[in-house]
Structure 1
Amino acid sequence: MSGSVWLPPGARPDSLPAIPRQRTPSWAQPDPIDELAVRLDDFIAAAVHPDEIAALLESDGLSDDRIRERYGVKNSFALAEELYERVDRRYPEPEDLPHDPWRIGLLACLLRGVVFVLPGFAHLLGAPLLAGPRGDLGLPAGTVPLLAGALTGWAWNQGLAHRAYAWLGLGDRSSARRCLLLGAPVGALLGALAALAVAGTAQPAAVAFAAGQSCYLGASTTLLVLGRERALLAALLPMAAGTLPTLVRDVPESARVLLLLGSLAAVVVLALVEVAPAVRDLGRGCWTAGLTALLPFGAPGGRPPAPVGGPRLAASLPYALFGLASGVLVLYAALGEVLAGGELSAIAAPAAVALTLSMGPAEWLLHRFRSDSLAGLRSTGSPRAFRRATVRTLAVCLIGYLAVLLALALTTAALWPHTPSPDGFRLAGLLMLGVVLWTGLLLQSVGAVLGGAAICCAAALVQTLALVTHTGTPHIVGLVVYGAAAAAQAVLVCGLLGRATAHR
């Protein structure tokens, strides 16, 4: 019958013997290619192209003649293609994740933010030294040399820090110390000379204060570059604590000067201790070693001990220009009240304090963005997916920084004596300036400082021209300038950091 199975008479289906399985004949040999695939399974499964397998076979010493004799294929490439087809692709994650150089603790960044703001107490102590008749810009005469020295120091020390960090990146800590040993005093001298050049009718005490500020900037740069934030904090705390009584009562001028000189001396001594090995080298007559660390091609008349391919001097120039431009923009934010006819105390306006305090969280969020970008390189599978992930991470970090800056601005304005509540224009301008500074630091971290420096320099120049020509209200002009610079840098950041090669 069609579809039925014939059974012998009296037999039941469950009583029949099972059909034996086919057995491999004793004379049959296993496939040698299968054996090789089992032996190299992990490597073959992770290979992205048969040529990787061919290279492994050749490195194991398998010649084409031996491959033809043993495996029955033409050559190593043919065998590699056969192995590639027999093993499924799988790309296991490494047991240990690769080192992330951008991981940093939040506490360390917050400590740096506090260290950045503590020197502002010195301006409160030295306020009587900066008094004087107002000039053409509405600034007291004593503040002009102070600002000139500060801008000179910010520009010089930003470039100096980049050069010292470059030496540290090459693993040459001794050259970094020599660079700081010679560069910091030069910056202090330049700052003092700039203050003296614009002193005008200012008192000698104001010029001396500006010179001390220049010395502090050089010494503190040395300590920050060499990772001695805690030592710098310990040197500044007594001066900050001594400033508190001045907020409620008059303090003798001699006590103010003593606190200022004591704090400055402590910071300078700590910086000298950090560069002491370089001092010993120079004491043995190795002046050429120090000049080589500071100059681009070594000192004349001596063999440069620095390694070939050291950092170029011209590479630090954009960082110095960014330091100068960002300093000008921050000073305009701080001087808005003074330029509008406010009191001298507004030179340490809450906006400047908020910006300075926010640099700690800004640094942590910058590291967080770079760390998440490296994770995005590992987790995304296409350039478009990586670009989307990068833009999303950038937006989260930037919004987080602006939220911190806004909270600090409102808090400092509420606590600062005799300060009106900030209006919408002032807050918007401050937030736009925060975008400019944070995106500028981000561009620096990926080596694209030239674009950020050019935008900040242009913004500083426009705002300076508006101030000199008395064009518009300072807060309105600042909002427009900061907004344009923020938009330009945001476009630059999105266009650059959407490419995976920018995160190497």
Structure 2
Amino acid sequence: MSGSIWMPPGARPDTLPVIPHQRTRPSWARPDPVDELAARLDDFIAAAVHPDEIAALLESDGLSDDQIRERYGVRNSFALAEELYERGERRYPEPDGPVPDPWQVGLLGCLLRGLVFALPGLGYVLGAPLLAGPRDDFGLPAGTVPLLAGALCGWTWNQGLAHRAYSWLGLGDRAAARRSLLAGAPAGALLGALVAFAVTGTAAPTALAFAVGQSCYLGAATVLLVMGRERALLAALLPMAAGAVLALVHPVPDAARLVLLLVSLAAVAFLGLREVAPLKGRGELRDQPPRTRRQPTTTAPHLTASLPYALFGLATGTLVLYAAVGDTSAAVALTLSMGPAEWLLYRFRSGSLAGLRSSSTPRAFRRATAFTVVECLAVYLAALLALTLATGVTDVRLADLLLLGVVLWTGLLLQSFGAVLGAAAVCSAAALAQTIALAAHPGSPHWIGPIVHGTAAITQAALVCALLGRATAHR
């Protein structure tokens, strides 16, 4: 009937009429801002493995929590990311052509760096007559204490200096990186020489001179390594290395030994100075156009940001020195293994990138990452095992050395992802514990290392799993 309201059969006259549910937004209503954002970020949301990836993107776009509450009606970036993740469809699109992988590096270059790290050890063979003399108060060979003190000081200072220079390079300011190296390398060499002089004790003046030369070498070599001049450094070390190899099979006069050491040291120092000196056509004048030479384009990185890296260098250097005191071949094996270790860090980065592409859930990505960590660590330990057997490390020391290798490689892995505080804390605690244990039980050194290194290895492995199992850590 005209003007009546339709009611379902059996309904009483006083029953309210049935109103259909509104399923679509009226054309005049304001569009949902979350839907608009989801449409704009559709490709990124579809490829996200975890909502945290979306949250990281929102934060990188400068969206604050206040802005998110005002525009989208949710409490913060993580809540908005979860909402967008739920609304988006998982697609994981593959790019056209070969998949780009910025972490592909050649093994030869990394092995070359490992060789450059190890070659200076031949300087101690060539300079043995300079270190001759009675044992010191600690029962160590003459000149050992100033050499060790200067080396630890140099490793600590130059690790922090290298981080600061790399920070400038990451900001695209190569001239500032050169300036920091030009000021920092001589300061580190002077500091290392002063530390060696302070603990010289009854050591001969020639031992102190050798320690001073060691400090100068560490500063100049840091410059060349940071600036990517490994081949030049290797060429400068060849006279000293050739003389050391000859000295192992045939007597070499002391004067010739001294000349070969000074030639290599002078060559390294000259190349390092030439690399950072602000000469015409080089240095900062070469890196900046004329109109912008005096205009800073970046904000200087904080000095305190380099302190954890310096502490990490001190801690790992201490652990390696403890391994070397009982058997120098252990230090040789560990030093040579740094080449494969660096290459495997890149391999892990490449593998984690492949895991991000192939994993569709956070759990699957964690499994892929754990497999990549185990694979890379196994390859590193195999390389370290081969080097230790080649250098003659005994079976008693082998397990301890492999545990120390786990500590070093996982520490480097954490450092490469910016988690240097955790790595520095664990390695520093291990170095301190080993120092205290050796001081309390000097006659029982063999059981101290495995306990300390095993505890540190387990702790850092847990840190690696906790950090690198998250997709956002690999952005």
Give 1:395's aligned residue: 374
Q: CA deviation at 1:461?
A: 0.7
| Partner residue, 2:102 | 101
Alignment partner of 1:484 is 2:472 = no
Against the structure 1 CA distance between its residues 391 and 252, is the aligned structure 2 distance closer, same or farther, given a 3 Å change threshold?
Answer: same
Shift of 1:54: 7.8
Aligned length: 390
Contact 1:164 1:177 in 2 (8 A): yes
The one-letter amino acid of 1:409's match is: T
Residue by residue over 1:96-145, the C-alpha shift from the partner in whole angstroms, topping out at 9 and shown as x without a partner, is: 45643322110100111111111011010111111222234321231111
Q: 1:478 to 1:304 in 2, by over 3 A?
A: farther
Asked whether 1:310 is paired with 2:311, we answer: no
Say whether the 8 Å CA contact 1:180–1:275 is kept in structure 2: yes
How far, CA to CA, are the matches of 1:256 and 1:467 in structure 2?
Answer: 35
Structure 2 CA distance for aligned equivalents of residues 160 and 308 of structure 1: 18
Separation of aligned partners in 2, 1:235 and 1:89 = 55
Among 465, 468, 474, which residue is 2:436 paired with?
465
For the pair shown, the structure with the greater C-alpha radius of gyration is 1
Match of 1:445 in 2: 416
Structure-1 residue corresponding to 2:323: 333
1:209 aligns with 2:210: yes
Q: Is the 8 A contact 1:466 1:472 kept in 2?
A: no
- The CA distance in 1 between the partners of 2:326 and 2:195, in whole Å, is 23
Counterpart of 1:128? 129
Alignment of 1:269-280 (within 5 A): 269-277=270-278
- Kindly tell me: are residues 89 and 188 of structure 1, through their superposed partners in 2, closer, same or farther at Cα, counting changes over 3 Å? closer
Could you tell me how far 1:473 is from its partner in structure 2?
1.8
2:228 aligned counterpart, secondary structure: coil
| Structure 1 Cα separation of the partners of residues 41 and 346 of structure 2 | 39
> Residues 54 and 160 of structure 1: is their aligned pair in 2 closer, same or farther, counting only changes over 3 Å?
closer
Q: Does 1:409 align with 2:394?
A: no
Q: Measure, in 1, the Cα distance between the counterparts of 2:221 and 2:362.
A: 42
Q: Contact conserved, 1:126 with 1:256, CA < 8 A, in 2?
A: yes
Higher RCO by CA contacts (8 Å cutoff, separation 6 or greater): 2
Q: What is aligned with 1:244?
A: 245
Displacement after TM superposition at 1:249 (Å): 3.1
Partner Cα separation in structure 2 for residue 432 and residue 162 of structure 1: 26
How many angstroms apart in 2 are the aligned matches of 1:247 and 1:335? 21
Does the CA-based 8 Å contact 1:151-1:328 persist in structure 2? yes
Partner of 2:397: 426
Identity, % of aligned positions: 69
1:364 equivalent in alignment to 2:336: no
- Give the residue type in structure 2 aligned to 1:322: F
SS of the residue aligned with 1:227?
Answer: coil
> Any residues of structure 2 matched to 1:110-121 within 5 Å, and which?
110-121=111-122
What letter corresponds to residue 104 of structure 2 in structure 1?
R
Q: Note closer, same or farther for the CA distance 1:283–1:436 as it changes in structure 2 (3 Å cut).
A: closer
Gaps of 5+ in 2: 1-33, 43-88
Report the Cα distance in structure 2 between the residues aligned to 1:283 and 1:495, rounded to whole angstroms.
42
Q: 1:53 to 1:478 in 2, by over 3 A?
A: closer
Q: Which residue of 1 aligns with 2:159?
A: 158
8 Å CA contact 1:336, 1:474 repeated in 2: no
* Contact 1:149–1:214 (Cα < 8 Å) also in 2: yes
The residue matched to 2:314 in structure 1 has which SS? helix
Q: Give the distance between the partners of 2:40 and 2:169, measured in 1 at CA.
A: 41
AA matched with 1:229:
E
Residue 203 to residue 279, structure 1, CA distance change in 2 (3 Å): farther
Query: Secondary structure at 1:100's aligned position in 2?
Result: coil
User: Structure 1: how far apart are the matches of 2:423 and 2:135?
Assistant: 34
Which amino acid is the alignment partner of residue 422 of structure 1? T
Q: Deviations over 1:271-323 (max 9, x none)?
A: 11111337989999xxxx9xxxxxxxxxxxxx985434321100100000010
Shift of residue 472, structure 1, vs aligned partner? 5.4
| Shift in alpha-carbon separation, 1:91–1:360, aligned structure 2, 3 A | closer
Q: Which residue of 1 aligns with 2:62?
A: none
Letter of the structure 2 residue corresponding to residue 503 of structure 1 = H
What CA RMSD, in Å, does the superposition of the two structures yield over aligned residues? Answer: 2.5
Quote the Cα distance in structure 2 between the aligned partners of 1:317 and 1:97.
Answer: 40
In the alignment, does 2:407 pair up with 1:436?
yes
SS at 1:200 equivalent: coil
Tell me whether 1:323 sits opposite 2:294 in the alignment.
no
2:250 aligned counterpart, secondary structure: coil
Structure 1 residues 91, 412: closer, same or farther in 2, change over 3 A? closer
- Whether contact under 8 Å (2:136, 2:202) holds in the other structure is no
TM-score (norm 2): 0.78
Moved more, 92-101 or 378-387: 92-101
Q: Secondary structure at the match of 2:301?
A: coil
- Equivalent residue in structure 1 for 2:446, among 458, 472, 475: 475
What letter matches 1:335 in structure 2? V
State how far apart, in whole Å, the 1-side matches of 2:277 and 2:208 are: 29
Distance in 2 separating the partners of 1:130 and 1:482: 31
Q: Whole-Å Cα distance in 2 between the matches of residues 105 and 389 of structure 1? A: 23
* Counterpart-to-counterpart distance in 1, 2:207 and 2:372: 46
